[in-house]
Amino acid sequence: MTEVHRRRVLHLLGVGTGTTLLAGCSESSDDGTDPGGESSDDDGESDGELPRYASLLPENDESRYFYGAIDQETIAALRDDESPEDGAEPSDPLLGNPIAFTFNYYLFGLGQLADSSSFDPYRENDETDDGTGAFVFVDGVYALAGSYAFDDLRTDLEDAGYDVETDAETYAVYTDPDSGEVVGVSDEVFAFSYPNATDPDFDPVTAVERTVATAAGDREPKHETDDEFASLIRTGEDDGITLCLYTTDDEFDAETLSNDRSDDADGPTFEFAAFTGSTGIHQRLSIVEDDVGARATSVVDYSSDDLVDEDRLESELGSDADTVTVDRVGTTVTVDAEYADDVADE
């Protein structure tokens, strides 16, 4: 088995590559609550609860839905860990997919924000101090969930020359006339997006407004309109790095899951081939401080018994792990893996 050094994993997750934009986030609190009033136990177990960021996951008209999230404690680890070791990109999708999300969305999105903004309204007005912050990518939008000085955000954006697109009571959307950047703000989220050169049909104004209106409670979040999606995102903890791929079709086909293109040609790629035939994938990677270097979990839903491919999952997931368990309950298969019993942290 391949030993996964904690520092090596952190290096692959981008430590030392410009993630200081989130330096305003504070350490996690220990009161066990999330913004929606849900509770967790001392070990971070979600106990079937919705993730803390569920209220900003918008409903849309697409059959396929993708989002990813990184919690505040992991963001702090990415920011604070020093002198990470070099490491090769893992071939195991349980490690590779969360790492690909971190490179292609977390680092890419924050890099865009730093490059396009002439000022930093996010950090100037971030009041997140209770451990509930998170980075979320959903529906083409980069969102920083937390607690914000909403009125101050609006004032700063308008003073900086951003054009008002929507000015509602609980949220607002602005466009930078020079860069094309779209920013949406509310008490609980700072969201941003950009025109997509590879998808001319993508409207960043609509996407950002949909996200912040959902976070502000003016639109129903996806989990309130789709019970199967709600069930999928309740299946595990929401700490660490999480990504979810879901479809309202009967199954994902191999061609749909073959899009492993990276926004950065030199960055890691996604590998979802093992999940062919499923309708929902909920992956999580947690970097922990105990005797295990990393823990990864993948919950895979299928629409019918005949589509369940437990053998494929067992053969293609966890190839770099020290221990792997595969459990099936009905049409849901859960793969749990632990990496590096002897973690080298020097």
Find tokens 């981008």 and name the residue. 14
Please tell me the total count of domains within the chain. 1
The Cα–Cα gap between 259 and 346 comes to 37
Find tokens 């199954």 and name the residue. 251
Does pLDDT of 258 surpass 70? no
Report the pLDDT value the prediction gives residue 329, as an integer from 0 to 100: 95
Q: What is the mean pLDDT of the segment spanning 226-248?
A: 91
Q: What is the mean pLDDT of the segment spanning 218-237?
A: 93
Does pLDDT of 118 surpass 90? no
**Are the beta carbons of 67 and 53 closer than 8 angstroms?**
no
Residue 44 maps to a domain: no
**Are the beta carbons of 244 and 232 closer than 8 angstroms?**
yes
Residue 195 maps to a domain: yes
Q: Using 50, 70 and 90 to split pLDDT, how confident is the model at 235?
A: confident
Residue 39 maps to a domain: no
Please report, as a single letter, which amino acid is at residue 178. Answer: D
Q: What is the mean pLDDT of the segment spanning 231-241?
A: 86
Range of the domain at 165: 6-25+51-339
Residue 31 maps to a domain: no
Report the pLDDT value the prediction gives residue 263, as an integer from 0 to 100: 46
**Alpha carbon distances (Å) from 80 to 14, 20, 153:** 11, 9, 27
Residue 34 maps to a domain: no
Q: Using 50, 70 and 90 to split pLDDT, how confident is the model at 9?
A: low
Tens of pLDDT, residues 172-193: 999 999 889 999 999 999 999 9
Residue 207 maps to a domain: yes
CB neighbour list of residue 320: distance below 8 Å, 6 or more residues apart: 1, 2, 4, 90, 91, 92, 94, 95, 339
Report the pLDDT value the prediction gives residue 290, as an integer from 0 to 100: 57
Q: What is the mean pLDDT of the segment spanning 202-216?
A: 96
Report the pLDDT value the prediction gives residue 11, as an integer from 0 to 100: 58
Residue 38 maps to a domain: no
Average pLDDT, the chain: 80
Q: To the nearest whole percent, how much of the chain has pLDDT over 70? A: 74
Q: For the purposes of burial, counting CB atoms within 10 Å of the CB of 320, is it exposed (0-12), middle (13-18) or buried (19 or more)? A: buried
Tens of pLDDT, residues 119-137: 667 677 777 766 678 999 9
Least confident of 17-26, 63-72, 80-89: 17-26
Tens of pLDDT, residues 273-319: 999 999 999 999 987 655 567 889 999 999 999 999 999 999 999 98
**Are the beta carbons of 56 and 138 closer than 8 angstroms?**
yes
Higher pLDDT, 275 or 34: 275
The sheet carrying 182-186 orders its strands as 163-167, 171-175, 182-186, 189-193, 141-145, 134-138, 64-71, 241-247, 280-287, 294-301, 332-339, 323-329
**Alpha carbon distances (Å) from 309 to 154, 219, 226, 303, 312:** 50, 37, 24, 12, 5
Here the tokens at position 50 are 């919705």
The Cα–Cα gap between 260 and 201 comes to 21
The Cα–Cα gap between 232 and 98 comes to 17
Tens of pLDDT, residues 50-78: 998 999 999 998 899 999 999 888 877 76
Report the pLDDT value the prediction gives residue 172, as an integer from 0 to 100: 97
Does pLDDT of 111 surpass 90? no
Closest to 272 (Cα-Cα) out of 284, 259, 290: 259
**Are the beta carbons of 158 and 183 closer than 8 angstroms?**
no
Residue 33 maps to a domain: no
Q: What is the mean pLDDT of the segment spanning 22-38?
A: 36
Report the pLDDT value the prediction gives residue 261, as an integer from 0 to 100: 44
Report the pLDDT value the prediction gives residue 15, as an integer from 0 to 100: 39
